[in-house]
Amino acid sequence: MGGPGEPPEGAPEGTSGGGEEEFRSVVFDESFVSAARLQEYSAEERIADHAPAVRPRPPLRRTGLSRQALALVLLIALAFGTAIYMGVRHPYQNPAARRAVEPLRMTVIPLAPQGAVPGTADPAYLFEHSPAAQFRIGADGIPLPPSRRTAHFSDSQVVTALTTAKEYLVRSSLDPEVLTGQQVRPVRMLLDTDQLDQFDESFTHPAADGRHAPTGWLVRFDPARAELADDGVRVQGTLQAAEADAATLEVTADHTFVYALRPPGADAKAPVSLFTVRRELQFRFDRDDLRLRQTQLIVSYVQAGPLSCGEDSTNHLRPLLAGRTAQRGGPAGTDPYATGGATSLCGSLAASAQPSV
């Protein structure tokens, strides 16, 4: 009897039991058949068309592999481009060194009248008969000059510096809430952050030291002494911009503001007088200031009157109103040997600067 897997009559002659082993390593699986370059026609196809026994098969398209390769190439290109961009514009690179912001240096000079302060009940009459007759009203009196680009700043940057300086003048000299001492925030918002400590200290601890006088930062009247009789403040002056260096623009402002004042709570028939403030300010802008539309105020030179030289004008301006005269005596004596203090100054208000009534 034959062994397992053999015919009952035994293996054919000429063969041996190990014949199967010879072809056992050849496995015709599905992938092998699919990859064949030749395909046998079916019996029906051969009978109908008398075709040859085999036909060539079209090559397989390996679309999946091609798409993966393309995606890999794009990914590598994107990573390479990102690396180059980050090398040129690194988001964490150290900013350029910035020059330290200077503290504001200020001088406030009261101007004492030579006689009684003239006044009348009609503010318009006073303006028409004063040197401010041709002044414009409000912000119209602060025109912007034609802008000119500089060696290191564009025309738009120069315009930004000029408009920011004008905005500071409007807020600090014309805003009714600032003038009456109710607000300081509109002015504070325009200052470089490095000057805010000095600004805040000026209002919490005012001092006549040339650094911390509120009236050096803005115009405000003592509400117990005077109030506005006319919101139409007369203004005249100039703005000029110039490049200080490759990193700094400077704007110089020189303006005269004329206010109509009356005693607080007085009726419309009460006499009105004019009060004049001349402000010469110097603003500084670096590129951060221009971007943020803020400024550094580095010089403030103020002349204001009619005031009495014997009264302190550091915290508020205390105007002399219609019919009043200046107190006798001038400012307290100054010790030239003392250090750390500011010299007290006082001027005389010319008669020609007053309205003729």
| pLDDT at residue 241 is higher than 90 | yes
Written as six digits, the tokens of 45 are 């196809």
pLDDT at 345: 80
Mean local confidence (pLDDT), 56-64: 56
Dist CA 178 CA 222 (whole Å): 11
What pLDDT digit, counting tens, does each position of 162-210 carry? 999 999 999 999 999 999 999 999 999 999 999 999 999 999 999 999 9
pLDDT at 87: 57
Q: Are strands 273-285 and 248-262 parallel, antiparallel or unpaired?
A: antiparallel
Which range, 1-5, 100-104, 296-300, 330-334, is most confident?
A: 296-300
| pLDDT at residue 53 is higher than 70 | no
Instruction: List, in order, residues 6 or more apart from 9 with CB less than 8 Å away.
Output: 2
Dist CA 240 CA 236 (whole Å): 14
pLDDT at 121: 93
Q: Please report which confidence band the pLDDT of residue 310 belongs to, taking 50, 70 and 90 as the band edges.
A: confident
| Better-scored residue on pLDDT, 73 or 103 | 103
**Long-range CB contacts (within 8 A, 24+) of 343-347:** 344/208, 345/107, 345/109, 346/109, 346/110, 346/111, 346/112, 346/309, 347/109, 347/110, 347/111, 347/112, 347/303, 347/305
Mean local confidence (pLDDT), 280-302: 97
One-letter amino acid identity for 172?
A: S
Residue 266: count other Cβ atoms within 10 Å of its Cβ. Answer: 15
Instruction: List, in order, residues 6 or more apart from 69 with CB less than 8 Å away.
Output: none
Written as six digits, the tokens of 75 are 């990914």
- Identify the three-state secondary structure at position 97: coil
Whether the CB-CB separation of 242 and 148 falls below 8 Å is answered with no
pLDDT at 76: 85
Mean local confidence (pLDDT), 326-345: 54
Range with lowest mean pLDDT among 151-155, 269-273, 349-353: 349-353
Q: How far is CA 24 from the centre of its chain?
A: 83
**Distance spanning both ends of the chain, measured CA to CA:** 151
Scan for tokens 């302190």, then name that residue: 312
What are the residues facing 230 on neighbouring strands? 260
% of the chain at pLDDT higher than 90: 60
One-letter amino acid identity for 307?
A: L
**Mean pLDDT rounded to a whole number for the chain:** 83
Mean local confidence (pLDDT), 273-302: 97
Mean local confidence (pLDDT), 234-244: 96
| pLDDT at residue 35 is higher than 80 | no
Mean local confidence (pLDDT), 94-98: 52
DSSP state, residue 98: -
| pLDDT at residue 8 is higher than 60 | no
Written as six digits, the tokens of 316 are 């508020």
H or E stretch at 124: helix 123-128
What are the residues facing 186 on neighbouring strands? none
What are the residues facing 319 on neighbouring strands? none
pLDDT at 288: 96
Dist CA 81 CA 86 (whole Å): 9
Which of 163, 177, 320 has the alpha carbon at shortest distance from 251? 163
Mean local confidence (pLDDT), 85-106: 65
pLDDT at 111: 95
Written as six digits, the tokens of 74 are 């794009």
Residue 262: count other Cβ atoms within 10 Å of its Cβ. Answer: 23
Range with lowest mean pLDDT among 268-272, 286-290, 298-302: 268-272
What are the residues facing 153 on neighbouring strands? none
Scan for tokens 């590598």, then name that residue: 76
Whether the CB-CB separation of 272 and 322 falls below 8 Å is answered with yes
pLDDT at 284: 98
- Identify the three-state secondary structure at position 146: coil
pLDDT at 101: 86
| pLDDT at residue 329 is higher than 90 | no
| Better-scored residue on pLDDT, 214 or 15 | 214
Mean local confidence (pLDDT), 101-110: 94
Q: Please report which confidence band the pLDDT of residue 291 belongs to, taking 50, 70 and 90 as the band edges.
A: very high
Scan for tokens 């510096």, then name that residue: 161
